[in-house]
Structure 1
Amino acid sequence: MESQKPKISNGVKNWLSLYNPRYIRSLAYMLQASEYNIRDYVSWLARVKNFNKVENRKHLASTPKSLFVIAFISIIILCIYGAAFAILLQWANPLKYLVFILIIISAPHLLSYGIIIPLWLFTFFIQKPTEHFIINRTEKILRNNKSIKIAIAGSFGKTTMREILKTVLAEGQKTAAPPDNYNTPIGISKFVRQLTGNEEILIFELGEYYSGDVRKLCQMIKPQIGIITGVNEAHLQKFKTTDAAADTIFELADWLKDKTVYVNNENALAKNKALNNHIIYNRDGVGNWRVQGAQTDLTGTSFILENNDLRIEVKSKLLGLHQIGPLSVAADIALRLGISPEKIQQGIAKTKPFNHRLELKNYNDGVILLDDSYNGNPDGVDAVIEFLASLKNHKRFYVTPGLVEMGLKTESVHKEIGKKLAKAGIEKIILIKNSVTPYIEQGLKENGYNGEIQWFDNAAAAFAALPNLTVNGDIVVLQNDWPDQYA
């Protein structure tokens, strides 16, 4: 009879993870992944059960700052243990043994929360003054740059709008925009330092995490044209209410006052805050432009823009009818800036999905993969489900870990996703185990879903299983990624 190894309970494993040598690295990773934001770090710290598992989807990036943090944390823990042993060896009081044990046991907690104080001091006395200097320098550079400046704000769709504008406007004028997700004062400043000064158009997306963020970026950039892509529950955990998110996003419109502002009225929250002087856009057109003959499939999206006698036939590689509004905005702005219809047509033909945003990829023996792993908001999910529902004669898979930062609307948002997937008749739903996907399952079942639901412990396991689950012609959507700081 084989002897069985004693099983260690999860509670004991979680407790032991505090004393693992990797604990210091885990704290450094948490700080880095939280972008050294104290509120986000403390919030994550309160949720962690097992510190051995915080580096799951991503890992600590080796940078001078992260190496300094590891060294600093190591010094703090050595000081804590040094103090404990000094008490044990030097103190004559019989309570020294109890104090020693208490310090040793509580050392990880003292460390994890203790580093907040030097982090705050560093932020207040070094980082903030440095950022203030950098931002002032950036303002001066942009003030001397005579280009047209376009700013984009919204809970979703900013990067896609930025890339559409950059591609279309570059056909007629020298156009530049920050790469990736450079949408904070420091990220934008890094981009601005690389400008040559001969740009004719600059495009910026404005990150919003807290009230006042968009206003500060407007003061730095001083845009002449604004685009508001919409408002939803993204970052609701920070904003608490969608009204607060809307107020922050519409700081762009407030700053521009009577200047040109485009607002997406397919989004209810944005539509409700739009003013009479704002230019409305949606899949039916923009301003006085009307859309005719719209079609979308796996090859892209085509439509005709009409305005009195002017007619522009366009075809984009972007997928989904929800892309028509942003493409129409790009055409309208291009015409306002003197770019010809022919150039606009050529520019739209060059537009294609940005990385991980409903990006078409060929995968394993004819399986069609739609990588939408950077789509983490309800409006984006709606658009993807709508597009997937339009693709007939395929077996369709929808792989998701759900959405993060939905705050008090977490349950309702995910039940609604389940409801829409059920009504779309998607044949197979693959759910990643976490705190929100049970609500998707509940929404599916409550709405009579008769397809198949399959669960996986993590996204890597689900992706590894796909070759055995799919055949030629199947379509797989990978919707959203699940950051390590969410359970």
Structure 2
Amino acid sequence: MRQALKNFFSRYRPRHVRSIVYMLQASEYNIRDFLKWYWRTKNFSNVEKRKRLEKTAKAKLLLLFGGIFLIVYIAAALVVFNFIPYPYKIFFLAVLLYAMPYILVLLLAVFLFLGQNLLQKPYEFFIIKKAREKLLRHKAIKIAIAGSFGKTSMREILKTILSEGKKVAAPGHSHNTPIAIGKFIESLKGDEEVLIFELGEYYPGDIRKLCNLVRPQYGFITGINEAHLDRFRTLSSTVQTIFELSEFVPDNSIYINVENVLARENAKSEFIVYSRKGVNGWKILNPKTDLSGTSFILKKDNIEIKMESGLLGLHQIGPLSAAADMAFLLGLTPEQIQKGVKKIKPFDHRLEPKMDSSGVITLDDSYNGNPDGAGAVIDFLASLKNHRRFYVTPGLVEMGFRIDVVHKEIGDKLAKAQIEKVILIKNSVTPYIERGLKEAGFKGEIRWFNDALSAFNALPSLTVKGDIVLLQNDWPDQYA
């Protein structure tokens, strides 16, 4: 009862408008996603757990609108209250108080919807139209990357290697939407020789829209899995959307990762396939990986390139090899390719190694939230024998109807890799990991924590020098 009252009155805190605007912002102003989060939230007093509201122009406008609404609502209620007969005043007041937070949410959603359709979409259409016209005149080679996972890493690998012999530009961070790409195109100087675009996919048709903007000559399909399955509904819809890339790029100019099952099963015979075994006639020799990085020799005819990268895991060999082949195709020398590969270091929060003062090695993989990525890092952990290994995870999001299968498979892989310690964050999906562990006969220790912060705070007391801690994925606030 006490908790129920706390939950109810959390809607009447002075900071409630800020909490709602933060939820809208964290949902990327997708009204459907926001409403799903809103209706499953019981207590609104602490929705800003991992991040804080960014005071952007849109956020400030919504805060102002919410504040004005509350003032007008309370003032109007007081005026009407004076005209209500006394026996009904308490009932009227109770109804007004109960309805206020829900009306606030409804009006903010309507205000946002109108703003998006009457102001934002026309503005974005203008920006994207200008960008498309500018890009059509640009003489640079255009490369597009599509896939459920690995897009940002592939982009950075390509950019680093190709920059040894070409002037290369690409949007930063995970800027992969039409408006973000449009703004990037507006910033181009015109003398770039290669442009690399990461194509984001959330709904069917997204890749087609982005390709209409970018008009790529070369493409990469990094793999397909259950990422965003909540939105796509079916894996076949995901496959069709990602393969929209082939409507714009000639089949013999598309590189595809055949280590991924769905990509391999749907690849056309003309595609250029890549894996840790090789790419386009190049063979992989002497592959090695450890905590210092990954190395191998790329050999074709009488050409050998010694590839040494700071990236961790044998699953990196395929993307590195594909990027090297692309570079060779565009005229880079083996020496330039080798030099570029050597400059590649682990990307932020993507199997990024860090050692603290106590000698504990943390592998930060918190931006990696997909089944293939989870499987790859478990394989890498399995190869590190002389360490005690911790696997910390809240599980994966947006796995749709495959949510149980995906997480039980993670548990199964952890058990087979003989990981010593598995730390699970309590939520709706981690019990499936526990079930997978137990069904596979896991002999290590399972520890539970109520939230990620509690787990992180406990790690120093659980670990000793030489231990390896893998942080697998991090749930955004809207999924916590």
Cα deviation, residue 194, structure 1: 2.1
2:242 alignment counterpart: 249
1:235 alignment counterpart: 228
> CA offsets per residue over residues 338-382 of structure 1, 9 Å max, x none?
101111111111111110000111123111111101000000000
Greater alpha carbon shift after TM alignment, 164-173 vs 92-101 = 92-101
1:292 alignment counterpart: 285
Does 2:448 match 1:455? yes
2:330 alignment counterpart: 337
Q: 1:270 aligns with which of 250, 263, 277?
A: 263
Q: Partners in 1 of 2:186 and 2:454 — Cα distance?
A: 42
Q: 1:346 aligns with which of 327, 339, 346?
A: 339
Tell whether the 8 Å contact from 1:214 to 1:252 is kept in structure 2 after alignment: yes
1:367 alignment counterpart: 360
- TM-score of the superposed pair, with normalisation by structure 2: 0.97
Does 2:208 match 1:215? yes
Greater alpha carbon shift after TM alignment, 78-87 vs 108-117 = 78-87
1:171 alignment counterpart: 164
Tell whether the 8 Å contact from 1:160 to 1:353 is kept in structure 2 after alignment: no
Q: Partners in 1 of 2:406 and 2:50 — Cα distance?
A: 24
Does 2:13 match 1:20? yes
Q: Unaligned regions of 5+ residues in structure 2, if any?
A: none
2:389 alignment counterpart: 396
Cα deviation, residue 316, structure 1: 0.8
> CA offsets per residue over residues 58-82 of structure 1, 9 Å max, x none?
1111222211111111112223333
Q: Partners in 2 of 1:92 and 1:9 — Cα distance?
A: 33
Q: Secondary structure at the match of 2:304?
A: strand
Q: Partners in 2 of 1:143 and 1:90 — Cα distance?
A: 66
Q: Partners in 2 of 1:10 and 1:228 — Cα distance?
A: 48
Q: Partners in 2 of 1:286 and 1:380 — Cα distance?
A: 21
Structure 1 stretches of at least 4 aligned residues deviating more than 4 Å after TM superposition: 91-97
2:34 alignment counterpart: 41
Q: Partners in 1 of 2:90 and 2:467 — Cα distance?
A: 66
Q: Partners in 2 of 1:125 and 1:261 — Cα distance?
A: 38
Q: Partners in 2 of 1:255 and 1:108 — Cα distance?
A: 48
Amino acid paired to 2:440: N
Tell whether the 8 Å contact from 1:87 to 1:96 is kept in structure 2 after alignment: no
1:4 alignment counterpart: none
Tell whether the 8 Å contact from 1:84 to 1:104 is kept in structure 2 after alignment: no
1:128 alignment counterpart: 121
Tell whether the 8 Å contact from 2:62 to 2:108 is kept in structure 1 after alignment: no
Cα deviation, residue 286, structure 1: 1.0
Mapping 1:176-191, distance limit 5 Å: 176-191=169-184
Q: Partners in 2 of 1:136 and 1:259 — Cα distance?
A: 29
Q: Determine what percentage of the aligned residue pairs are the same residue.
A: 57
Cα deviation, residue 96, structure 1: 5.7
Aligned pair count reads 480
Q: Secondary structure at the match of 1:53?
A: coil
Greater alpha carbon shift after TM alignment, 306-315 vs 146-155 = 306-315
Q: Unaligned regions of 5+ residues in structure 1, if any?
A: 1-7
Tell whether the 8 Å contact from 1:263 to 1:270 is kept in structure 2 after alignment: yes
Q: Partners in 2 of 1:240 and 1:287 — Cα distance?
A: 34
Tell whether the 8 Å contact from 1:164 to 1:351 is kept in structure 2 after alignment: yes
Tell whether the 8 Å contact from 2:222 to 2:257 is kept in structure 1 after alignment: yes
Q: Partners in 2 of 1:112 and 1:257 — Cα distance?
A: 48
RMSD: 1.4
